[in-house]
Amino acid sequence: MEAEQSFSDICGGRLALQRRYYSPSCREFCVSCPRLSLRSLTAVTCTVWLAAYGLFTLCEKSMILSAAIFITLLGLLGYLHFVKIDQETLLIIDSLGIQMTSSYASGKESTTFIEMGKVKDLVINEAIYMQKVIYYLCILLKDPVEPHGISQVVPVFQSAKPRLDCLIEVYRSCQEILAHQKATSASP
Amino acid sequence: MVLKAFFPTCCASADSGLLVGRWVPEQSSAVVLAVVHFPFIPIQVKELLAQVQQASRVGVAVLGTWCHRRQESEESLGHFLEGLSAIFSHEPWLQLCRERGSKFWSCKATHRQVPASPGAPGQDQVMLIFYDQRKVLLSQLHPPAALPDHQAGDATASAGGLAAVFDTVARSEVLFRSDQFDEGPVRLSHWQSEGVEASILVELAKQASGPICLLLACLLSLISAASTSRVFKLWPLSFIWSKLSTCEQLRHRLGQLTLIFSTQKAENPAQLMRKANMLVSVFLDVALGLALLSWLHGKDRIGQLADALVPVADHVAEELQHLLQWLMGAPAGLKMNRALDQVLGRFFLYHIHLWINIIALLTFHIYCFYVYGARLYCMKICGLSSLWRLFRGKKWNVLRQRVDSCSYDLDQLFIGTLLFTILVFLLPTTALYYLVFTLLRLLVVTVQGLIHLLVDLVNSLPLYSLGLRLCRPYRLAAGVKFRVLEHEAGRPLRLLMQINPLPYSRVVHTYRLPSCGCHPKHSWGSLCRKLFFGELIYPWRQRGDKQD
């Protein structure tokens, strides 16, 4: 079962949340971030090239211009491959674990899988981010030493930063699975 | 809990038979290792499993049946398979079935004993997870950094479900030794059933490595015994040995080679990686050295370099002379004390005159100037601080290591104040000389430091591990990742488990070799403090040197 809804992130950009229910024990949530805007790309390129042209008129070396083109290309490739995240996915599988995937604009994917035995709970936390107070979804990991302690807090959807309404949808869905998981693991 | 069945991708197209593997009750997961095909005699199957269990210490058992319906009319097979559950009893009994030409499977897991609570069903939900047997066998899982107050034993005991899967497959290598061409009593299907993988070169290397290691180990022990003999302990030879960085590097490499060629087998994968890394590092070192030598020898570059060196030394000395002339004049518009200026300037100029004639020691005079300048400045600062205390009517109490008040006589105060003013007005001149020479010295130290860093890099970079991560990323695993395969409602969920390789930064961090590392022992704060008070800086200390 697939459903798509549109939400907004903390800066006001448009996000799309895609939900896929594969089975009662497996669900996937995919948040897609706003794409690279042509306007900002043009603005950055123009600034760099104007600066290079200014230097060129001062120094009369044509290597500055080719260096500027080179830098722009490399910078764009580096940005697309290492910085710009297109989509963030959360896959939750009952009694197996939670998997978070970030796919970059260049196609690279980076995945983290957390086993269900290590997951204590999934909560929505509040945080002060610059001048804003924002909500973020995070996974609490169990502390192996102390049974009631928390060893790590892993935030989810870090680049997309959706707002509370989107987070509540994801939270409710995941809690259904986690509750089922806790019920079955508690019984002998 | 949902029952997880880990099924190898190589067996997905195998004929019908029995599923053989390990059942992990804590995670409710069944790890299927192989499929036993018809015809078989149950006693022989049980014997084989007992043998494998003894050899590998893994609880291998018959987990259930696998049915691959190639034709439509194989209903009788289904009944036959159900009868097998009476012969090989296992709790729960897994039944996997695949239709011909269909991507979707049907799975059933039945419990023989009816559970005590009436509501629970006798059947469990099954989730299929496909895994690549060869990659999982060869890979090594790197768990995230363990907490410092943990012992290694705890970590393996509480290992997660996936570590248990990797462990099971890795330890059951004995099961994968026979292939379909063997004349054994039981016909198995697994990743090596098409033919056992082996490489002639690897086998030959393994055979040859024994005697070669023995020979080289003897040779290296002779060399190290010779180097620790009494002759080399006499001064000044021992002093020279400890100062020259070449000797330090040679000693480091000798230690590494002894470790590589020792006749002991590596106990765990980490040690094996370390040996491999050291070997590659030694090869790279030798290769770089040979390349540099051949480049130098070609086109008489050594001659050219030597010819260029003497004028460079002369140039440096000339620049230093110009610098001192500038200092003796009115540098940067500052008005210096004439007499002191002349004395200091002439003192340093004489040294340049001496050195320019001996050897082209490029920077030794810079070092000497720095030392003189620093000592002079240091004395000045000491005098100034003591007289400043006198000026305020205080005294340094050596016994209690603190500043105390003190009543001075009038003549003491008078002379003290006079000396204080003299020192204060001579301060800019000394400080300027000190500043200039310290900057030059820091420049030289930076260049030395960069070369040192480069040597350290070649020594400690784990190239074999990086190469392995590049070419065979599944060997170094940080974890796993799952992909949901095509799904149909009502059918069991199918997932594909792939290996998530370790990021490059963690590879370097985990497998970095210990360097003969001389690290700067100053933090930036203490460095600035030493510079301000004129204490001498020795940035690079070899290990084992006494503190200054």
Cα B404 to Cα B384: distance, rounded to the nearest angstrom: 17
CB contact under 8 A, B160 and A118: yes
Q: Tell me if B158 and A144 make a contact (CB, 8 A cut-off).
A: yes
Put simply, the answer to whether B158 touches A184 (Cβ < 8 Å) is no
pLDDT tens profile A27-40? 999 999 988 889 99
Whether A91 sits inside 8 A of B500 (CB atoms) is no
Rounded percentage of chain B residues whose pLDDT exceeds 70: 85
Residue B17, number of CB atoms within 10 A of its CB: 22
Q: Which amino acid is at B189?
A: S
A9 or B331: which leads in pLDDT = A9
In A, minimum Cα distance to B490 occurs at: A23
Sign of CA dihedral B471, B475, B477, B481: positive
Tell me how close the Cα of A87 comes to any Cα of chain B, in angstroms. Answer: 16
Q: What is the dihedral of CA A185, A188, B2, B5, to 10 degrees?
A: 120
Helix segments in B172-300, DSSP class H? 200-227, 237-243, 245-260, 269-297
Say what the pLDDT of residue A62 is.
Answer: 87
Query: Please, which pLDDT band fits residue B370 given cuts at 50, 70 and 90?
Result: confident
Q: For residue B404, is pLDDT > 60?
A: yes
pLDDT at B360: 36
SS3 label, residue B34: strand
Task: Write down the pLDDT at residue A83.
Answer: 92
Q: Is A25 on the interface with B (CB under 8 A)?
A: yes
Report the C-alpha gap between A62 and A55 in whole angstroms: 10
Tell if the CB–CB gap between B127 and A96 is shorter than 8 Å. yes
Across B444-451, average pLDDT: 81
Nearest to A109 by CA among A30, A25, A38, A14: A30
Whole-number average pLDDT of chain B: 80
Chain B CB contacts of A93 below 8 Å = 127, 482, 493, 495
Confidence of residue B154 (pLDDT cuts 50, 70, 90): very low
pLDDT for A160 beyond 80 = yes
pLDDT, tens digit (0-9, with 9 covering 90-100), for A42-92: 999 999 999 999 999 998 888 889 999 999 999 999 999 999 999 999 999
Using a CB-CB cut-off of 8 Å, the residues of chain B touching A183 are none
- Which residue in A has a C-alpha nearest to residue B28's C-alpha? A95
Q: What percent of chain B is predicted at pLDDT more than 90?
A: 10
> pLDDT band at B150, cuts 50/70/90?
very low
Has residue B464 got a pLDDT over 60?
A: yes
Q: Is A152 on the interface with B (CB under 8 A)?
A: no
Question: Per-residue pLDDT for A179 more than 80?
Answer: yes
For residues B204 and B211, give the distance between their C-alpha atoms in angstroms, rounded to a whole number. 12
Crossing angle between the packed helical segments B269-297 and B245-260, to the nearest 10 degrees: 140
| Least confident residue range of A121-125, B26-30, B36-40, B355-359 | B355-359
A23:B1 CB<8 A: no
Closest Cα of chain A to B64: distance in Å?
Answer: 22
Give the chain A residue whose CA is nearest to the CA of B480: A113
Higher pLDDT, residue B259 or A160: A160
pLDDT at B123: 62
Q: Phi first, then psi: what are they for B507, rounded to 5°?
A: -60, -50
CB-nearest to B482 from A94, A99, A184 is: A99
For residue B262 the two structure tokens come to 């020792």
Please indicate whether, in this complex, the C-beta atoms of B4 and A96 are within 8 angstroms of each other.
yes
Q: Are strands A85-93 and A97-104 parallel, antiparallel or unpaired?
A: antiparallel
A96 touches chain B (CB under 8 A): yes
pLDDT of B309 higher than 90 = no
- pLDDT higher than 70, residue B43: yes
pLDDT single digits (tens) B327-339: 887 777 777 778 8
For residue B6, what pLDDT band results from cuts at 50, 70 and 90?
A: very high
A135 pLDDT higher than 60? yes
Confidence category of residue B488, pLDDT binned at 50, 70, 90? confident
Task: Tell me if A94 and B162 make a contact (CB, 8 A cut-off).
Answer: no
Spell out which residues of chain B touch residue A30, defining contact as CB-CB under 8 Å: none
Residue B116 has pLDDT above 60, yes or no: no
Confirm or reject contact between A72 and chain B (CB < 8 A). no
Q: What pLDDT score was predicted for residue B347? A: 80
Q: Per DSSP, what are the bridge partners of residue A20?
A: A2, A28
Q: Which is more confident, B351 or B518? A: B351
How many beta-carbon contacts under 8 Å exist across A and B?
62
Nearest-CA distance B169 → chain A (Å): 19
The pLDDT value recorded for residue A114 is 93
pLDDT of B205 above 70? yes
Looking at residue B12, the DSSP 8-state letter turns out to be G
CB A25 to CB B487 under 8 A? no
pLDDT > 70? residue B87: yes
More confident residue, B228 or B318: B318
pLDDT at B153 over 50: no
Instruction: Using CA coordinates, name the residue in chain A closest to B503.
Output: A110
Give the Å distances, CA to CA, from B211 to B261, B282, B283, B487, B527.
10, 21, 21, 57, 53
Residue A19 has pLDDT above 70, yes or no: yes
pTM score of the predicted model: 0.76
Band of pLDDT at residue B152, cut at 50, 70 and 90: very low
Measured CA to CA, the distance from residue B380 to residue B430 in angstroms comes to: 8
Predicted confidence band of residue B504 (pLDDT cuts 50, 70, 90): very high
> A36 at the B interface (CB within 8 A)?
no
Q: Which pLDDT belongs to residue A164?
A: 93
CA angle B184, B190, B196 (to 5 degrees): 70
- Reading the block at residue B84, the tokens are 């097998």
Q: Which residue of B has its CA nearest to A184?
A: B1
Q: Which residue has the higher pLDDT, B144 or B500?
A: B500
Q: Quick check: B1 and A95 CB within 8 A? A: yes
Task: Write the residue in B487, B495, B500 that is nearest to A111 by C-beta.
Answer: B500
Whether A111 and B2 lie within 8 Å, measured CB to CB: no
The residue type of A162 is P
**Which chain B residue shows the shortest CA-CA distance from A152?**
B147
pLDDT at position A185 over 80 = no
Contact check, Cβ <8 Å, A95/B487:
no
Give the list of residues 6+ apart from residue B544 with CB closer than 8 angstroms, or none: B242
Residue B156's pLDDT band (boundaries 50, 70, 90)? Answer: very low
Q: Residues B537-546: what's their mean pLDDT?
A: 52
**The A150-156 sheet, strands edge to edge:** A119-129, A132-142, A150-156
Average pLDDT over residues B350-373: 68
CB neighbourhood size of A160 (10 A)? 24
| Helix/strand/coil for B17 | strand
CB contact under 8 A, B161 and A94: no
Of residues B367 and A63, the one with the higher pLDDT is A63
Nearest to B482 among A95, A113, A144 (CB): A113
pLDDT digits (tens, 9 = 90+) for B209-264: 888 888 888 888 888 888 777 666 676 677 666 666 777 778 888 888 888 887 77
Say yes or no for a CB contact (<8 Å) between A115 and B162.
yes
Whether residue B185 has a cis bond before it, omega within 30° of 0: no
State yes or no: pLDDT of B374 exceeds 80.
Answer: yes
Tell me if chain B has a CB within 8 Å of the CB of A22.
yes
A144 and B147: CB-CB below 8 Å? Answer: yes
Note whether ipTM > 0.90 here.
no
Residues of B in contact with A113 (CB under 8 A): 479-482, 500
What is the C-alpha separation between A168 and A141, in angstroms, rounded? 20
For B483, nearest residue in chain A (alpha carbons): A91
Which candidate, B321, B58, B284, B252, places its Cα nearest to that of B172?
Answer: B58
pLDDT on residue B491:
83
Q: Residues A109-137: what's their mean pLDDT? A: 92
